[in-house]
Amino acid sequence: MFKPNQWPAPAKLNLFLHITGRLPNGYHSLQTNFQFLDYGDSLAFDTNSSNNVSVSPEVEGVTLEDNLIYRAAMMLKPYTKEPVGADITLTKILPMGAGLGGGSSDAATTLAALNHLWNINLPTDKLAELGLALGADVPIFVKGVAAFAEGVGEELTPISPPEPWYLVIWPGVSVCTKTIFNLPQLPRNTPKITLADLDKATLKNDCQEVTKNRHPEVASALDWLIQYAPAKMTGTGSCVFGEFSSRADATVALEKLPPNMHGFVAKGVNISPLISTLSARR
């Protein structure tokens, strides 16, 4: 149970990820299904009238001005009607470079929470627009509804996939998204599909093979997990996930996890815990 000043920043999974082209600006066009997990980071917001924003703990090697949480908070400053500030404390449990969207989710939770706590009351679409400047995945976390995504990931159509239990494995490595998307061998010409064709299409993660080739730990995690459930990688990695019909079945597999891997069991949810928290506090 979250304390009154705490807000969830849930993980996401890419249930598939197709790269359909490369844009002139270097970004890639893609298609994916986003679903949330009932598991993730949390942020505590202690608001004040000091006009200052602090974020703790510090992230090694990242200045305050480059911290996505700080940047999200400062994006809202022009919309405030009086001096406001916040001391923000992050409880981080999602690994970085894992394909779970942790940094984007933290930024989105900051936008949503401070929009509410500072009484700014911008509409969700405006928050998503602001969030896109922080990262392509931020809008999905702001909107908080499972979605079929196109464009660079910001064109979102709500969907309602099944909500199974997942075993998510982190193989102990961080994957740089920019590096994966710049690899010449990355597939970039997967034919586009329509939402109506999703159920009969062969869905995969176009980043999976190139990530496996660069990071054998990811390949090992997939090889292990596929013994227990259909398994694939989320995002550009490094986390992989398997789908189970019950928490008990997923937990049985988790208990057999090799000691060099880390894992957790979580439920797929189509309404983000952030949205549920926001609705409860309005």
DSSP state of 58: P
Q: What percent of the chain has pLDDT over 90?
A: 90
Q: Mean pLDDT for the chain?
A: 95
Per-residue pLDDT of 107-143, as tens digits, reads 999 999 999 999 999 999 999 999 999 999 999 999 9
3-state secondary structure of 270: coil
Domain architecture of the chain: domains with CATH: 6-160+270-281 (3.30.230.10), 165-267 (3.30.70.890)
Catalytic option among 137, 212, 232, 249:
137
- The answer to whether the peptide bond before residue 238 is cis (omega within 30 degrees of 0) is yes
Beta strands in the chain (DSSP E): 6-22, 28-48, 53-56, 85-91, 147-150, 155-158, 165-170, 231-233, 240-244, 262-269
Per-residue pLDDT of 3-57, as tens digits, reads 668 999 999 999 999 999 998 888 899 999 999 999 999 999 999 999 999 999 9
Q: Which two tokens stand for residue 155?
A: 């064109």
Residue 2 has pLDDT above 80, yes or no: no
Tokens 């969030």 belong to 131
The pTM for the full model equals 0.95
- How far lies 210's CA from each of 177, 182, 187, 214, in Å? 12, 11, 9, 6
How far apart are the two ends of the chain, measured CA to CA in Å? 18
User: Per-residue pLDDT averaged across 238-260, rounded?
Assistant: 97
Q: How does residue 211 score in pLDDT terms, banded at 50, 70 and 90?
A: very high
Identify the pLDDT of residue 1: 42
| 232 within 8 A of 241, measured Cβ to Cβ | yes
- How far lies 229's CA from each of 4, 128, 280, in Å? 38, 34, 35
Identify the pLDDT of residue 156: 95
DSSP state of 59: P
List phi, psi (to 5°) of 245: -85, -15
Identify the pLDDT of residue 152: 86
Residues 6 or more apart whose Cβ sits within 8 Å of residue 252? none
Residue 158 has pLDDT above 70, yes or no: yes
Cα 250 to its chain centre, rounded Å, is 21
Active site residue 126: no
Tokens 């190139």 belong to 210
Identify the pLDDT of residue 17: 97
Identify the pLDDT of residue 182: 93
Per-residue pLDDT of 254-270, as tens digits, reads 999 999 999 999 999 99
Active site residue 12: yes
